[in-house]
Chain A
Amino acid sequence: MSSDLQIKVSQMEGRVPVTVLHITGQIDASTSSGLQAKATEAHKAGTNHLLLDLSDVDYMASAGFRAIHSINQMLQGDSQGDAANPPLKLLNPSDEVSRIIKTLGFDHYVSTHTDLKDAIASF
Chain B
Amino acid sequence: MDKHLQILQNTRLFSKASASILHDVSLVLETVHIKAGDVVFNKGDAGNSMYIIKQGRLRVHDGDITFNKLGPGDIFGEMAVLDENTRSASITAETDAVLLRLDKAPLNKMMVEQQDVSKAIIKSLCHSLRDRVQDLTDDQVYIKTMERELDIGRNIQAGFLPRKLPDIPGWQVAAFFRAAREVAGDFYDVFEVRKLNRVALVAGDVCDKGVGAALFMTLFRSLLRASTNAEQYIDWEHPAFRDNGDEQASTTLSNSIRLTNNYIAHTHGDTSMFASLFFGLLDPATGSLVYVNCGHESPIIVNSGKIKTQLETTGPVVGIFPGSKFNVHEVQLQPGDLLLAYTDGVNEAMSHQKEQFGDDRLHSLLQGNDANPTELIEIIKNNIQNFTFNTGQSDDITMLAIKWANSGDSG
Q: Tell me the smallest distance from the CB of A29 to a CB of chain B, in Å.
A: 4
Q: Tell me the smallest distance from the CB of B84 to a CB of chain A, in Å.
A: 27
**Separation of A29 and B64 alpha carbons in the complex (Å):** 13
**Separation of A71 and B304 alpha carbons in the complex (Å):** 47
Query: In residues 89-119 of chain A, which contact B (Cβ within 8 Å)?
Result: 103-106, 108-109
Tell whether, in the assembled complex, residue B210 and residue A105 are in contact, meaning their CB atoms are under 8 Å apart.
Answer: no
Tell whether, in the assembled complex, residue A70 and residue B316 are in contact, meaning their CB atoms are under 8 Å apart.
Answer: no
A34, A61, A67 pick with most chain B CB within 10 angstroms? A61
Q: Tell me the smallest distance from the CB of B149 to a CB of chain A, in Å.
A: 20
Known contacts A33-B64, A104-B317, A105-B324; is-contact A69 B272 (Cβ 8 Å):
yes
What is the chain A residue whose CB lies nearest that of B209? A29
What is the chain A residue whose CB lies nearest that of B181? A29
Judge if B273 is at the interface, Cβ distance under 8 Å.
yes
Interface string of B244-280 (1 = CB under 8 A from A): 0000000000000000000000000110111010000
Tell whether, in the assembled complex, residue B270 and residue A103 are in contact, meaning their CB atoms are under 8 Å apart.
Answer: no
Tell whether, in the assembled complex, residue A4 and residue B63 are in contact, meaning their CB atoms are under 8 Å apart.
Answer: yes
Tell whether, in the assembled complex, residue A65 and residue B316 are in contact, meaning their CB atoms are under 8 Å apart.
Answer: no
What is the chain A residue whose CB lies nearest that of B207? A62
Tell whether, in the assembled complex, residue A69 and residue B313 are in contact, meaning their CB atoms are under 8 Å apart.
Answer: no
Judge if A57 is at the interface, Cβ distance under 8 Å.
no
The residues of A that contact B272 with a CB separation of less than 8 Å are: 66-67, 69-70, 73
Contact of B207 among A33, A63, A73 (CB under 8 A): A63
Tell whether, in the assembled complex, residue B274 and residue A63 are in contact, meaning their CB atoms are under 8 Å apart.
Answer: no
The residues of A that contact B106 with a CB separation of less than 8 Å are: none
Tell whether, in the assembled complex, residue B208 and residue A63 are in contact, meaning their CB atoms are under 8 Å apart.
Answer: yes
Judge if B305 is at the interface, Cβ distance under 8 Å.
no
Interface string of B119-163 (1 = CB under 8 A from A): 000000000000000000000000000000000000000000000
Contact of A29 among B208, B270, B316, B317 (CB under 8 A): B208
Tell whether, in the assembled complex, residue A73 and residue B270 are in contact, meaning their CB atoms are under 8 Å apart.
Answer: yes
What is the chain A residue whose CB lies nearest that of B206? A62
Tell whether, in the assembled complex, residue A105 and residue B295 are in contact, meaning their CB atoms are under 8 Å apart.
Answer: yes
Tell whether, in the assembled complex, residue A103 and residue B313 are in contact, meaning their CB atoms are under 8 Å apart.
Answer: yes
Tell whether, in the assembled complex, residue A109 and residue B207 are in contact, meaning their CB atoms are under 8 Å apart.
Answer: no
The residues of A that contact B294 with a CB separation of less than 8 Å are: 105
Judge if B321 is at the interface, Cβ distance under 8 Å.
yes
Known contacts A33-B64, A66-B274; is-contact A108 B207 (Cβ 8 Å):
no
Interface string of A63-94 (1 = CB under 8 A from B): 10111011001000000000000000000000
Judge if B320 is at the interface, Cβ distance under 8 Å.
yes
The residues of B that contact A63 with a CB separation of less than 8 Å are: 207-209
The residues of A that contact B273 with a CB separation of less than 8 Å are: 66
**Separation of A28 and B64 alpha carbons in the complex (Å):** 14
Additional 8 contacts, C-beta under 8 A, given A62-B274, A103-B296: A29-B210, A62-B205, A66-B272, A103-B313, A104-B295, A105-B295, A105-B315, A105-B324
**Can you list 21 A-B contacts (CB < 8 A)?**
A32-B208, A33-B64, A61-B395, A62-B207, A62-B208, A65-B207, A66-B208, A66-B272, A66-B274, A73-B270, A73-B272, A103-B276, A103-B295, A103-B313, A104-B274, A104-B276, A104-B317, A105-B316, A105-B317, A106-B316, A108-B316
Q: Which B positions have Cβ atoms within 8 angstroms of A? A: 63-64, 205, 207-210, 269-270, 272-274, 276, 294-296, 313, 315-317, 320-321, 324, 395
